[in-house]
Amino acid sequence: MQRKINTPAWVAGNTIYEVNLRQFTKEGTIKAFEEHLPRLKELGVGILWFMPIQPIGKKNRKGTLGSYYSISDYKKVNPEFGTIDDFKSLVKKIHDLNMKVIIDWVANHTAWDHHWTVDHPEFYSKDENGNFKAPVEDWEDVIHLDYGNPDLWDTMISDMQFWINEAGIDGFRCDMAHLVPTLFWNRARRDLDKIKPVYMLAESENFDLLEYAFDTIYNWKLMHAMNEVAAGISNANQLGETISNEFNFLPKGASFMNFTSNHDENSWQGSAIERIHYFLEPLTVLTFLIPGMPLIYSGQEAGNYRRLKFFDKDEIEWKDDKMFELFQKLAELKGKLPNFSNKVEMRIVNSDASEKIFCIALFENDAKCLFLLNLSEESVDFYVKCQQLEGPFRNAIQQEDKTGYSCHNQFKLSAFGYLILVK
């Protein structure tokens, strides 16, 4: 597939940070969140993705506060978070720090008490009795939109344009994007780009969305493969096969979002530490160093290793944690690595311990990077097998390590250890 759109230049090399505004502070407000901006800048993230900021429906609400993804008005701000002026001020402050803003967009369904149910009931799918219906059985707090109605397309795109024109946001993360017609997204991207070049992230793994509409799709297969390694079901060699197969289908210029956690995984499947345990650090390294967009979910950098409630208040406990420094170093390194260039070549590198040691190399012109991860519970001595990787290499993370590494030498990694080498 040849992409017909261009990703904004500022996207390359950046790290996405998902903001769970409700749980971020005691107040759960936009203004309270602003105090964290200097820390997030120090962390090294470049794109802040806000979970839906719009008002949440009250009819059939789940829990005390409801789901972010049950929206009652696309063009307003949830009063629990603040006002539209608060959000506009926040966007400006984020831009002043040379970071970008994308917001969640839920185009497949609305709350039962969205004003369209009165103003435009024709926008909705109906059951055999002519009543509104949920998209799937256990999503009883939302009702399904009908994209067979062309007027819905116009109105939905207009509401998306509102946030670019009014608040100055830089793009969207689109919820369950594969449940909405691809042709709608194609038109939406065209119309949004007329205002400014936007970044579009799809919650989907459908490659056809990347041709005209989206820049990035989810790398769920990677996350599931990492979970299987941590559970002892799979090994480093099989993980490499999964990564190679996925990237073979990715159009040039498009990207995956790589992650160990996000709001869904954390709340419903378990925190990253709950799922991948001692593998957390090497697999976090992996999500940053393969091509694509790495994601940090709210609180991961503070060692928030528990599940956050989805429908109720559950404030993140902010504390110093070693993961902050790791994320910080990886985000800095990510900005220096080959990333979206069409010239970059990624190669899984063989070793004589391929079931335990994961090796990957990036090549771009004369730039070469080699990443070595020990995905086992024991120390491993090994050799890598790649003629193109002539040294010397230096340790990109531990600057005090002055070793001139060569691929002709034997490597040694401790249990769950990793080595990031650049030439």
H, E, C per residue of 97-151: CCCEEEEEECCCEEECCCCHHHHCHHHECECCCCCECCCCCCCCCEEEECCCCHH
Determine contact, residues 145/89, Cβ cutoff 8 Å: no
- 419: which strand partners? 372
Distances (CA, A) of 160 to 85, 106, 189, 198: 17, 10, 10, 11
Q: Whole-angstrom Cα distance, residue 54 to residue 41?
A: 25
Q: Can you read off the two tokens belonging to residue 32?
A: 């309270």
Strands (E), 293-399: 293-297, 345-348, 350-351, 357-364, 367-374, 380-382, 384-385, 394-395
Domain ranges of the chain: 9-334, 345-422
Determine contact, residues 397/373, Cβ cutoff 8 Å: no
User: What class does CATH assign to 345-422?
Assistant: mainly beta
Chain mean pLDDT for the chain: 94
How confident is the model at residue 305, as a pLDDT?
85
Query: Which CATH superfamily does the domain covering 9-334 fall into?
Result: Glycosidases (3.20.20.80)
Average pLDDT by stretches of 10, the chain with 423 residues = 93 97 98 98 98 98 98 99 99 99 99 98 97 94 98 99 99 99 99 99 98 98 96 96 92 95 92 92 96 96 93 96 96 83 78 95 81 97 83 82 81 96 87
How confident is the model at residue 334, as a pLDDT?
93
How confident is the model at residue 341, as a pLDDT?
59
User: Which residues make Cβ contacts (< 8 Å) with residue 27, sequence separation at least 6?
Assistant: none
What's the pLDDT tens digit per position in 398-416?
A: 877 778 888 778 999 999 9
How confident is the model at residue 409, as a pLDDT?
82
pTM of the model: 0.96
User: Which residues make Cβ contacts (< 8 Å) with residue 331, sequence separation at least 6?
Assistant: 15, 43, 44, 45, 46, 288, 294
How confident is the model at residue 337, as a pLDDT?
81
Alpha helices in 168-219 (DSSP H): 182-193
How confident is the model at residue 1, as a pLDDT?
81
- Secondary structure (3-state) at 382: strand
Distances (CA, A) of 90 to 20, 36, 85, 94, 123: 15, 11, 9, 6, 32
Q: What backbone torsions phi and psi does residue 370 show, to the nearest 5 degrees?
A: -130, 130
How confident is the model at residue 362, as a pLDDT?
87
Rounded to a whole number, what is the distance in angstroms from the first to the last CA of the chain?
33
How confident is the model at residue 84, as a pLDDT?
98
